[in-house]
């Protein structure tokens, strides 16, 4: 199944994160899964399994995965999390709009959706901090170049993570441009590596985009 956005999120009736946390009538094991909102929609804040030591895998935007029907990317993320000693995983996305093909993401960031997504990220940090410091796996690949606003969204996440003492990691080789590897084609026994230069990496992406914009105007 492919998800093509029916409209941009400005017209999709987006719930606030607090509203999306309220339980609905969806049929899945809430003792095992975290799923916000708990029904299939044009956006998704959180999908993952419950545990005392989760790894947060961070991609660009959600596709079609739901509890008990993970796509191949999330299956890979879960295997790698378990291999690295975590008892659960949480999939979080830089931008919450569902789109199987990142080219279908809206070209202009919805500031409301982003703000609510950052509330979701803060909720995850609170959830994990009850038992330890958060570990965040950067797993977005070169897709971060698809939209100008994506690197700025990650900078907001980095700021929130810093308040909780979060550690950032990658898995697999980084690209020549410094992009962390996407989990889909990683081996199940891939180990996590520290990602200490996250801020410099994000700033370099922003500077490169500014240079490209200036060259196009000349």
Q: How far is 78 from 83, CA to CA, in rounded Å?
A: 9
The answer to whether the beta carbons of residues 77 and 92 sit under 8 Å apart is no
Average pLDDT over residues 60-86: 97
pLDDT, tens only, 101-136: 999 999 999 999 999 999 999 999 999 999 999 999
Query: What does the H/E/C string look like for 107-165?
Result: CCCCHHHHHHHHHHHHHHHHHHHCCCCCEEEECCHHHHHCCCHHHHHHHHHHHHHHHCC
The answer to whether the beta carbons of residues 93 and 128 sit under 8 Å apart is no
Q: How far is 167 from 203, CA to CA, in rounded Å?
A: 18
pLDDT at residue 53 in the model: 97
Is the pLDDT reported for residue 57 higher than 90? yes
Confidence of residue 26 (pLDDT cuts 50, 70, 90): confident
CA 24 to chain centre: 23
Q: How far is 52 from 68, CA to CA, in rounded Å?
A: 20
Is the pLDDT reported for residue 212 higher than 80? no
CA 178 to chain centre: 18
Pairing of strands 54-59, 88-93: parallel
Is the pLDDT reported for residue 27 higher than 90? no
The answer to whether the beta carbons of residues 195 and 157 sit under 8 Å apart is no
Higher local confidence (pLDDT), 203 or 20: 20
Q: Which of 103-107, 177-181, 206-210 has the lowest mean pLDDT?
A: 206-210
Give backbone dihedrals phi and psi of 168, rounded to 5 degrees, phi first: -105, 145
Confidence of residue 205 (pLDDT cuts 50, 70, 90): confident
Is the pLDDT reported for residue 147 higher than 70? yes
Give, in order, the Cα–Cα distances in Å from 171 to each of 100, 106, 168, 187, 211: 22, 28, 11, 10, 29
Mean pLDDT of the chain: 94
Is the pLDDT reported for residue 217 higher than 70? no
């Amino acid at each position: 199944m492919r998800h093509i956005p029916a409209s941009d999120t400005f017209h999709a009736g987006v719930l606030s994160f607090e509203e999306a946390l309220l339980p609905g009538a969806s049929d899945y094991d809430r003792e095992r899964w975290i799923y916000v909102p708990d029904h299939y929609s044009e956006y998704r804040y959180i999908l993952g399994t419950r545990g005392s030591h989760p790894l947060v895998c961070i991609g660009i935007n959600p596709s079609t995965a739901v509890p008990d029907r993970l796509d191949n990317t999330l299956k890979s993320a879960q295997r790698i999390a378990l291999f690295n000693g975590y008892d659960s995983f949480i999939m979080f996305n830089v931008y919450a709009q569902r789109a199987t093909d990142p080219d279908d993401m809206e070209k202009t960031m919805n500031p409301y959706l982003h703000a609510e997504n950052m509330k979701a990220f803060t909720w995850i940090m609170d959830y994990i901090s009850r038992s330890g410091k958060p570990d965040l796996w950067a797993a977005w690949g070169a897709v971060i170049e698809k939209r100008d606003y994506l690197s700025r969204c990650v900078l907001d996440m980095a700021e929130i993570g810093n308040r909780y003492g979060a550690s950032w990691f990658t898995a697999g080789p980084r690209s020549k441009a410094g992009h962390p590897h996407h989990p889909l084609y990683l081996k199940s026994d891939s180990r996590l590596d520290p990602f200490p230069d996250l801020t410099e990496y994000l700033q370099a992406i922003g500077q490169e985009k500014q240079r490209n914009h200036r060259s196009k105007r000349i």
